[in-house]
Amino acid sequence: MNLHRLIATGALAGLLTACQSASYSPRPLPPQQPQGIEGQWTDPNGIISSFSGGRFETRTTDTNSLLAEGSYQQVSPQMVEIELTSLLRQTTSRVNCALATPSQLNCTSSTGAQFTLVRRS
């Protein structure tokens, strides 16, 4: 019986050692797709629009000058409403944007002008 106990103890110790020495490397997570509209977007002219915590800004790429500012609210998972003031014209307007894809916003201003914003990578 002592021999059986010795063999069982040795086998158990071997199994425990094997479990502890096995190295497990975590699989890398795939890159996370951006959610909603938070972040920076560009128009075809290279103007950068930023959405952050309900605040909206549009800036030039060359001098980073502020062109427009305002606020936005997510009306639905795919729709956002922007209320902005143009600092150049001193006018206020409303823009509705639809999140067509995670990286494209299709927008229409209150005057009917349409434009597209693309998420910056």
Asked whether 61 and 48 are in contact (CB, 8 A), the reply is: yes
In 3-state terms the chain splits into helix, strand, coil percentages (rounded to 5) of 15, 45, 35
Task: Output DSSP code: residue 10.
Answer: H
pLDDT digit string (tens) for 39-89?
Answer: 999 999 999 999 999 999 999 999 999 999 999 999 999 999 999 999 999
Provide the pLDDT for residue 27: 72
Mean pLDDT, the chain, rounded, equals: 83
Other beta carbons within 10 Å of 75: 12
Nearest to 47 by CA among 38, 65, 62, 60: 60
Provide the strand spans (E) within 1-121. 39-42, 48-52, 55-59, 66-76, 79-86, 91-101, 104-109, 114-119
